[in-house]
Amino acid sequence: MWALFAKETSLQRIAVQISMKKIVFAVWLFSATGLFSQQAADSQSFSYGFVAGAELQTLNIQQQPLQSGRPFIPNQNLTGTGASLGMWAQWRVFSALEVRQGLQISLLSNAIRFETPDGQTQRDRYHFADLELPLHFVLSNQLQHLPAKALILFGGRASWNLADGRSSAALNLLPERFAVDLGIGAGFHIGNWSIQPELMYSYGLNNLHDFQNSPYDWAAGRVLRDRLSLRVVVSLPEIER
């Protein structure tokens, strides 16, 4: 009975995650279609600045079938919040295409509940202090009749968790993370400064589960970290070559 309940709940959770990813991709695709319907906007050869944002992270743990007499990880909300801060530099490739290289650090945490066969609950908080290297392609275009430009971003990132991770070794996670990023945004000019609010979805690619034969390793399969970032990108006065 427990195994059937866990399986049904797991399938429902996977369906919700797939639906969320489809919605994010649909919004991004719709924005891209609107962007290319405009005329190309002029941009400088080189720009740089800093970025700050709020982070929402989901820790997706693939549950293994429940086994009698073994500890397990119950279904739960594994969403955590945090913040990020970094700097970036951007180069123009074509009239409406630029490449942005960044360096940032993000601080987040997620709480995971573990349960023993006799019903005892253990709650561990996993900490993430990620040093990240995002690399994005930025498509931009001036919006007609508005003092702004539309942006779509796509690319990826590599990161390394500098924190010690968790308060116990119930479940070990690898420090490295690789992800594909999709985002939309808008750009505004205030004097010589440029302000760009952006919404970025980062889909984790690699399995973070570090199997060390810990007590709960047999209860978990793949572990992925997905992120949703709402951030503000500030461009310092532009440099012309």
Q: Return the minimum-mean-pLDDT range out of 30-39, 105-114, 186-195.
A: 30-39
Domains of the chain from N-terminus onward: 2-235 (2.40.160.20)
Query: In angstroms, what CA-CA distances link 126 with 16, 60, 78, 108?
Result: 24, 13, 11, 9
Q: Residue 11: is its pLDDT beyond 60?
A: no
- Which residues are paired to 185 by β-bridges? 151, 198
CB of 186 within 8 A of CB of 197?
Answer: yes
Q: Residue 109: is its pLDDT beyond 60?
A: yes
User: Given this model, what pLDDT does residue 166 score?
Assistant: 61
Task: State the Cα–Cα distance between residues 207 and 215, nearest whole angstrom.
Answer: 19
Q: Residue 41: is its pLDDT beyond 50?
A: no
For the question of whether the overall pTM of this predicted structure is more than 0.95, the answer is: no
Mean pLDDT, rounded, of the chain: 80
pLDDT higher for 27 or 175?
175
pLDDT in tens, 199-221: 999 999 999 999 888 878 888 88
What sign results for the dihedral spanned by CA atoms 198, 199, 204, 205?
negative
